[in-house]
C-alpha cells in the first residue's frame, strides 16, 4: 500500500505500484531521457538556450559541460576507430559503466526486467568508494533502443525515490543518490568505427559541496576510455 500522510514512516515512504504501471512510467521517463541524449550528441543542433562549453581535449576525448539546474550536465565524445557500435554497446550498460566509475562497487544486480530492452537495476558502492559513491546506492532504469538510422542509445537514470523504495527498501546505513540522467549514443561510421557520446548528471545526495560534485563529475565521463578497452576485447561474433 502507498504511504499516507498519517504514516509514521514518512521519511522512508514508498509507493507500491503494479508492474504494468511501472512499465508505463519508466517507458515515458526513458523516452524523454533518450531525446535529451540524442540532442546532446547532435553536433549540428542549434542549442535552444543550452550551451555546451568545451572543458578539455584529453587523448582524443572531448569533454564539455552544460548548466542544468543545480548540477552541471557533463558530456564526453570520442571517435572510436575499429570498434563497431555492436561491440561498444555490449559493454555500455549501467553495470559495466558503474564498474568503471568505481572498483569498490559491491553489488550490481537486475531487480526486474520490464521488457526485452527495459530493466530496473540496483547499484551499491562500499565504504572505501570515491566520495561521490561512498556508501551509496542507486536504483536506476536502463533502456536500450536502436533508432531508425541505426544509432544505438542506452538511457540510464534513477527512479523517483518513492518508487525506488517500493521496489527495494533503503538500508539504514546507505545513502540513496540520484542519477538524474545518463547514457550513451553510439553512431555508426565507416570502416567499423563509431562516434560515442556519453552524458551524465549526478546528484550523489548527502552532504557534498556542489562545486566538488561538479568537479568529480568531469572524471565520470572519462570512463569511455576504459569501456573502449572492454569493447575491443569483445569478439564481434558475441555481439550479434
Establish if 151 belongs to a structural domain.
yes
Residue of 209, 207, 227 lying closest to 217 (CA atoms): 209
Establish if 7 belongs to a structural domain.
no
β-sheet bridge partners, residue 79:
195
pLDDT at 113: 93
Dist CA 141 CA 33 (whole Å): 11
pLDDT at 10: 36
Spatial contact of 82 and 231, defined as CB atoms under 8 Å apart: no
Establish if 2 belongs to a structural domain.
no
- The tally of domains found in the chain comes to 1
Residues 210-238: tens digit of each pLDDT: 555 556 666 677 788 888 888 888 766 54
Cα dihedral 94→100→105→108 (10° resolution): 20
Q: Is the model's pLDDT at 12 over the cut of 60?
A: no
Establish if 49 belongs to a structural domain.
no
Residue of 220, 189, 165 lying closest to 16 (CA atoms): 165
**Residue 223: helix, strand or coil by DSSP?**
helix
Residue of 124, 143, 152, 179 lying closest to 38 (CA atoms): 152
Establish if 48 belongs to a structural domain.
no
Q: Which three cell numbers stand for residue 182?
A: 545518463
Establish if 226 belongs to a structural domain.
yes
Establish if 81 belongs to a structural domain.
yes
Establish if 211 belongs to a structural domain.
yes
Dist CA 96 CA 191 (whole Å): 26
pTM of the predicted structure, to 2 decimals: 0.83
For residue 211, give its domain range: 12-42+55-239
- The CATH number assigned to the domain holding 153 equals 3.30.530.20
Amino acid at each position: 500500500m502507498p504511504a499516507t500522510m498519517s504514516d509514521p514512516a514518512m521519511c522512508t515512504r514508498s509507493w507500491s505500484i503494479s508492474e504494468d504501471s511501472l512499465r508505463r512510467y519508466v517507458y515515458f521517463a526513458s523516452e524523454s531521457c533518450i531525446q535529451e541524449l540524442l540532442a546532446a550528441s547532435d553536433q549540428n543542433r542549434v542549442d535552444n538556450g543550452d550551451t555546451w562549453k568545451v572543458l578539455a581535449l584529453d587523448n582524443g576525448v572531448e569533454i564539455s559541460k552544460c548548466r542544468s539546474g543545480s548540477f552541471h550536465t557533463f558530456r564526453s565524445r570520442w571517435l572510436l576507430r575499429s570498434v563497431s557500435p555492436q561491440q561498444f554497446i555490449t559493454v555500455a550498460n549501467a553495470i559495466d559503466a558503474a564498474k568503471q566509475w568505481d572498483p569498490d562497487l559491491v553489488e550490481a544486480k537486475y531487480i526486474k526486467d520490464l521488457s526485452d530492452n527495459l530493466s530496473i537495476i540496483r547499484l551499491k558502492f562500499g565504504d572505501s568508494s570515491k566520495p561521490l559513491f561512498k556508501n551509496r546506492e542507486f536504483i536506476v532504469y536502463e533502456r536500450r533502443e536502436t533508432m531508425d538510422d541505426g544509432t544505438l542509445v542506452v538511457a540510464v537514470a534513477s527512479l523517483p525515490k518513492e518508487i525506488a523504495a517500493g521496489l527495494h527498501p533503503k538500508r539504514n546505513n546507505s545513502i540513496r543518490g540520484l542519477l538524474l540522467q545518463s547514457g550513451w549514443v553510439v553512431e555508426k561510421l565507416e570502416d567499423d568505427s563509431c562516434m560515442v557520446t556519453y552524458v551524465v548528471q549526478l546528484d550523489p545526495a548527502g552532504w557534498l559541496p556542489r562545486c566538488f560534485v561538479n568537479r568529480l563529475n568531469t572524471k565520470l565521463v572519462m570512463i569511455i576510455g576504459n569501456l573502449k578497452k572492454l569493447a575491443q576485447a569483445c569478439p564481434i561474433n558475441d555481439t550479434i
